[in-house]
Amino acid sequence: MSIANTTYDECSSPSSSPPPKSEGILNLIRQFTNTMKSGGLKLKDRRKKPTQVHALTINSILSSSSNSDESMSTAFFNAKSLLPYGLPNLNMIEPPIHPHLNHVDFVDSISDIYRRILHSTSESERCSLYLEQYAVLCALGDPKLLRRSLQSAREHAVDIHSKVVLSAWLRYERREDELVGVSAMDCIGKVLECPKSALINDDGFDRSRSVFDRCQCVCGNASENVNVTVSPDNQCLTDDEEIVCFCIGYEVISCVRPKIASLSSPLKTLLYGSFVESAKGSINFSQIGISVEAMKVVEVFSRTKKLSDFDSPSIVLEILSFSHKFCCEEMKSACEVYLSSIVSTIDDAFVFIEYGFEYDASLLVAACLQVFLRELPNCLKNPKVVGLFSSPESIQKLSMINHASFLLYYFLTQVAMEEKMTPLNTVTLVEILIEFATEKWQKTLAFHKLGVLLFERKEYKDAQSSFEAAYEMGHVYSAAGIARTMYKQGKTYLARDLINKILSDCKRPNGWMYQERSLYNLESKEFQDLESATKLDPTLAYPYKYRAVSMVNENLVNEAIQEINKIIRFKVTPDCLELRAWFYLVLEDYQAAVRDIRALMSLEPYYMMFHGKMRCGYLVNLLSQRVKQWTIADCWQQLYDRWSYIDDIGSLAIIHQMMAHDPGKSLLRFRQSLLLLRLNCQKAAMRSLRLARNLSTAKHEKLVYEGWILYDTGYCEEALSKAEESISIQRSFEAYFLKAYTLVEASLDPDSSSVAIQLLIDALKCPSDGLRKGQALNNLGSIYVDCGKHDLAIDCYINALNIKHTRAHQGLARVYSLKDERKSAYDEMTKLIENGKNNASAYEKRSEYCDRDNAVNDLCMATQLDPLRTYPYRYRAAVLMDEQKETEAVEELTKAIAFKPELQMLHLRAAFYESMNDYSLALRDCEAALCLDPNHKETLELYNRTLKQTAELYT
């Protein structure tokens, strides 16, 4: 339904403080701990262009000082009339080398992975393949695709180690650690992320269940989901049983001889073999190292196969030691299950993991490992945790019980690099990753990651060696790393020759290749290469930045702003916003500069401007003396205006300013998250949403924000449940809106349309502001259109327009089109184009209401404004196919797929290949599309049909 295709606009890995320490457990086992072994040693030039500093004044914005950032302000004040820190430096904006796999032919690589998954024969093999899929899809940066790959890997994991790592990884991706009051060991009700389910050894996930089924785990009940029954002993010894007595000091424990013997082969040999003890009725166990209390529990277990729920951790640890010594596997397993169920904090984990190592208790180590991993990223700031994962002794211990793997260190290095942990520790983890890499793709990824890290540390010679290792294994993108390290070592000609070779060898070059070569041009041909890079991949930010900075150095500041606008229109990033703010400072347009800096801070609150020399917040404080100060009422008015003009960046800046007045207001954080989602800044949006939840003081509001978090991570049913719980506490606009949106999106109810209509009507009756009510009216109109109630839809859209919800023009145009009033529909979309600031989608939609020539013009404009929109490419390709220009049609799609391999375009190109009887390429594109969405019905039908045609061709 249409509501599902609109952004919840105007809505879009949760954090928690650690749980309280388990002092009771630690006190109980402190004496026993003192006898344990501990410790472990830790493991181990580009041609410079002159930068013109023009005497462009910034009036007297530096005339006042602040106690904060004093050292930085000195440079500012010394600048006097000069632009602070000069103009942007071309040598400081070099493109980064990304630390992930980046295949030259992405479509081939993902189709190959899908094919191998399809034909894999074991669960563990599929788990590994989904992890490889994750590694390759990292190049796209789509959180939902990456999450689905991890979920699939967890679904097919059969060993406890893989389950523990992947469950923790899924939790980290949701950033649940940032939700106040949520423990690392909490279960959200999903089996794939449940910490208890991860510790159950089985043959894989039950195929009759969905990966989204609710977990049977009852949180907080440690006795649930463990492989041991806990109950007191109700049995007594009888006279007719063969008794053997074990003496410990002055105490005697009577046991049933055959029952004790049945615990293990060594005990059976002791009691029934050729040893003297077999003929004795009393055996001295004083020197065995077990207490009277523990031996009594062993006696009970020998008869009942149960541990008593009255047994303390220290007693169970003694029994674990006894079990290890006498090879009592069943009793040892029961001890591990019990102890694993009580490990909940990092302190517990540090204590128990040593026992796990000592007694080869794999499950207990897994439970401790799980605690550490579910506390990521914060626990990597703990030197003891880092030592556990990086010291040779610890690695050896983990390896001996099968808890050191490529999977584990892939997760750890991913977290360390994303969180920008201490470089040396991260390098150490990546070096260990290399040691555990066995498959070609694993080694390639590990060496490339190491190259990136060493390059950032300016260890260019070692970085070059790592990149070369990855390149020799077929990873062409690592050539960028080799060339960059060569250049840094003064080998510019060699760097250029290498990239030239890559370009000449590649049948279809990638945009990054020309971008890379532009760095090593010696004949001022960099602009030519950058144009080629942009043509092949318009999403690369560096070419726009380079051209814009070059224009500023030529005093063409307005032109520079226009250039950087080209990418900001469809891809908002902190570095591009920083440059545009910098340019506005040159023009002394402080209002625009502050707007961009505030928007930038919404994406990255602690971003450092001017090549890392000044905090954004400090600069905003300086510039505030030169811009008009708005009251809260002014801010709301400004927000309405920007919302009306569909100026998302301007709206984001206003919200940021409003939060300065009221930093604890959760509603503002929520609004910020909605805007960030519309700008496709998903990580920043989720961070704002988590902050909204944490700042909320009302239970019903908290539930709404939790619902949106669940919705955004794929848990629609849980989101719906949160909305219903919120409404049961207090009726509110946001709760009704969440329920309506989620219900229609998930289609959980066959009568979802009528229910959603009533929910939105109920929402509109609740207090809210015009911005949100405009969205609700717009969505309500969309549902009315789907139901054929056009007059009601028109009323909704007109009411939305009356409160400045400009996007309602699109809905109104749709109704006119359905009523066969195409001229009115066209005019309505023209109004949206005229009134909206970001109007690529408006041009795209207007193309549906005009003749072919005008449609092509509108779609060309849409592509120019936003090359990431895929409909224009598909439309133009379809027109070319209609004209029987098959090669041109395929090429139209191919050039877009090169930088945006999207499901619909891959499906359409596969259909084109099928019509051209090129079944092998049709199959390849189908497989690539199904790698992105394995349940896409139309592609599955096309794939099966093409397989059948291929089979008929060869029979």
Same domain, 197 and 327: yes
Query: Are the C-beta atoms of residues 371 and 348 closer than 8 Å to each other?
Result: yes
Cis preceding-peptide flag for 872 (omega within 30 of 0) = no
Domain CATH for 256: 3.30.710.10
Using CA atoms, how far apart are residues 64 and 301, in angstroms rounded to an integer?
Answer: 78
Same domain, 610 and 671: no
Using CA atoms, how far apart are residues 499 and 487, in angstroms rounded to an integer?
Answer: 12
Q: Would 652 be classed as within a structural domain?
A: yes
Pairing relationship of beta strands 282-284 and 251-256 according to DSSP bridges: unpaired
Task: Scan for tokens 């890995």, then name that residue.
Answer: 13
Query: Are the C-beta atoms of residues 657 and 630 closer than 8 Å to each other?
Result: yes
With a cut of 70, say whether residue 58 has pLDDT above it: no
Q: What is the pLDDT of residues 836-862, one digit of tens each?
A: 887 899 999 999 999 989 999 999 999
Confidence class for position 166, pLDDT limits 50, 70, 90: very high
With a cut of 90, say whether residue 184 has pLDDT above it: no
Using CA atoms, how far apart are residues 563 and 555, in angstroms rounded to an integer?
Answer: 14
The confidence score (pLDDT) of residue 405 equals 97
Angle between helices 790-802 and 808-818 (to 10 degrees): 160
Q: What is the mean pLDDT of residues 879-908?
A: 96
Range from 500-514, 681-695, 711-725 carrying the lowest mean pLDDT: 711-725
Same domain, 635 and 625: no
The confidence score (pLDDT) of residue 649 equals 96
Domain CATH for 638: 1.25.40.10
In which element (H, E) is residue 605 found?
none
Q: Would 672 be classed as within a structural domain?
A: yes
Confidence class for position 673, pLDDT limits 50, 70, 90: very high
Q: What is the mean pLDDT of residues 22-26?
A: 35
Q: Would 142 be classed as within a structural domain?
A: no
Q: Give the side-chain half-sphere CA count within 13 A for 711.
A: 27
Q: Which of 302, 322, 343 is the last residue of a domain?
A: 343
82 compared with 807, residue with greater pLDDT: 807
47 compared with 358, residue with greater pLDDT: 358
Angle between helices 526-536 and 511-518 (to 10 degrees): 160
Same domain, 330 and 264: yes
Same domain, 284 and 260: yes
Return the HEC string of 514-557.
HHHHHCCCCCCCHHHHHHHHHHHCCCCHHHHHHHHHHHHHCCCH
Q: CA distances (Å), 57 to each of 50, 482, 609, in order? A: 20, 42, 19
The confidence score (pLDDT) of residue 240 equals 58
The confidence score (pLDDT) of residue 183 equals 82
Query: Are the C-beta atoms of residues 66 and 73 closer than 8 Å to each other?
Result: yes
Same domain, 666 and 563: no
Q: What is the chain's Cα-based Rg?
A: 32
The confidence score (pLDDT) of residue 11 equals 35
Task: Phi first, then psi: give them for residue 243, nearest 5 degrees.
Answer: -105, 145
Same domain, 567 and 666: no
Pairing relationship of beta strands 614-615 and 243-248 according to DSSP bridges: unpaired
- Helical ranges in 537-647 per DSSP H: 541-553, 557-568, 574-586, 590-603, 609-612, 616-623, 632-644
With a cut of 60, say whether residue 233 has pLDDT above it: no
State the residue range of the domain holding 561.
540-629
Describe the strand order of the beta sheet including 282-284 as a list of residue ranges: 251-256, 243-248, 282-284
Using CA atoms, how far apart are residues 143 and 270, in angstroms rounded to an integer?
Answer: 59
Q: What is the mean pLDDT of residues 427-432?
A: 97
Confidence class for position 201, pLDDT limits 50, 70, 90: confident
Average pLDDT taken over every residue of the chain: 87
Confidence class for position 311, pLDDT limits 50, 70, 90: low
Q: CA distances (Å), 93 to each of 524, 531, 570, in order? A: 17, 17, 20
Task: Scan for tokens 């000195």, then name that residue.
Answer: 74
Using CA atoms, how far apart are residues 89 and 95, in angstroms rounded to an integer?
Answer: 13
With a cut of 90, say whether residue 726 has pLDDT above it: yes
Using CA atoms, how far apart are residues 791 and 795, in angstroms rounded to an integer?
Answer: 6
The confidence score (pLDDT) of residue 750 equals 58
Same domain, 200 and 317: yes
Same domain, 199 and 338: yes
The confidence score (pLDDT) of residue 181 equals 82
Query: Are the C-beta atoms of residues 817 and 832 closer than 8 Å to each other?
Result: no
Q: Would 328 be classed as within a structural domain?
A: yes
Q: Which of 629, 656, 686 is the last residue of a domain?
A: 629
With a cut of 50, say whether residue 61 has pLDDT above it: no
Confidence class for position 262, pLDDT limits 50, 70, 90: very high
With a cut of 50, say whether residue 422 has pLDDT above it: yes
Confidence class for position 210, pLDDT limits 50, 70, 90: low
Residues near 121 by beta carbon (within 8 Å), at least 6 away in sequence:
none
Residues near 713 by beta carbon (within 8 Å), at least 6 away in sequence:
13, 147, 173, 174
Length of the chain: 955
Q: Which of these, 85, 6, 260, 140, lies nearest to 612 by C-alpha position?
A: 85
The 8 Å CB, 24+ separation contacts for 678-685 are 678/7, 678/9, 678/10, 678/648, 679/572, 679/648, 679/649, 679/652, 680/571, 680/572, 681/572, 681/603, 682/12, 682/143, 682/712, 683/143, 684/602, 684/603, 684/604, 685/12, 685/712
The confidence score (pLDDT) of residue 953 equals 82
Q: CA distances (Å), 247 to each of 254, 276, 296, in order? A: 9, 16, 11
Q: Which of 577, 594, 629 is the last residue of a domain?
A: 629
The confidence score (pLDDT) of residue 291 equals 94
Residues near 871 by beta carbon (within 8 Å), at least 6 away in sequence:
844, 859, 862
Q: What is the pLDDT of residues 85-119, one digit of tens each?
A: 889 999 899 999 999 999 999 999 999 999 999 99
With a cut of 80, say whether residue 521 has pLDDT above it: yes
The tally of domains found in the chain comes to: 3
Query: Are the C-beta atoms of residues 922 and 946 closer than 8 Å to each other?
Result: yes
Q: Which one-letter amino acid corresponds to residue 774?
A: G
Same domain, 271 and 289: yes
Q: Would 271 be classed as within a structural domain?
A: yes
Q: Would 263 be classed as within a structural domain?
A: yes
The confidence score (pLDDT) of residue 221 equals 40
Per 3-state DSSP, the chain is made up of helix, strand and coil in percentages (nearest 5) of: 65, 5, 30
Range from 27-31, 181-185, 212-216, 829-833 carrying the lowest mean pLDDT: 27-31
Same domain, 616 and 547: yes
Q: CA distances (Å), 942 to each of 875, 882, 906, 916, in order? A: 20, 20, 12, 14
Q: Is 795 exposed, middle or buried (0-12, 13-18, 19+ CB in 10 A)?
A: middle
The confidence score (pLDDT) of residue 50 equals 34
The confidence score (pLDDT) of residue 189 equals 75
Using CA atoms, how far apart are residues 764 and 772, in angstroms rounded to an integer?
Answer: 9
Using CA atoms, how far apart are residues 897 and 880, in angstroms rounded to an integer?
Answer: 17
Paired residues of 245 in beta bridges: 254, 282
With a cut of 60, say whether residue 228 has pLDDT above it: no
Q: Would 469 be classed as within a structural domain?
A: no
With a cut of 80, say whether residue 236 has pLDDT above it: no
Per the structure block, which two tokens stand in for 887? 């090669």
Angle between helices 492-505 and 511-518 (to 10 degrees): 160
Q: Would 639 be classed as within a structural domain?
A: yes
Pairing relationship of beta strands 243-248 and 251-256 according to DSSP bridges: antiparallel
Q: What is the pLDDT of residues 526-546, one digit of tens each?
A: 999 999 999 999 999 999 999
Same domain, 659 and 601: no
Using CA atoms, how far apart are residues 67 and 601, in angstroms rounded to an integer?
Answer: 21
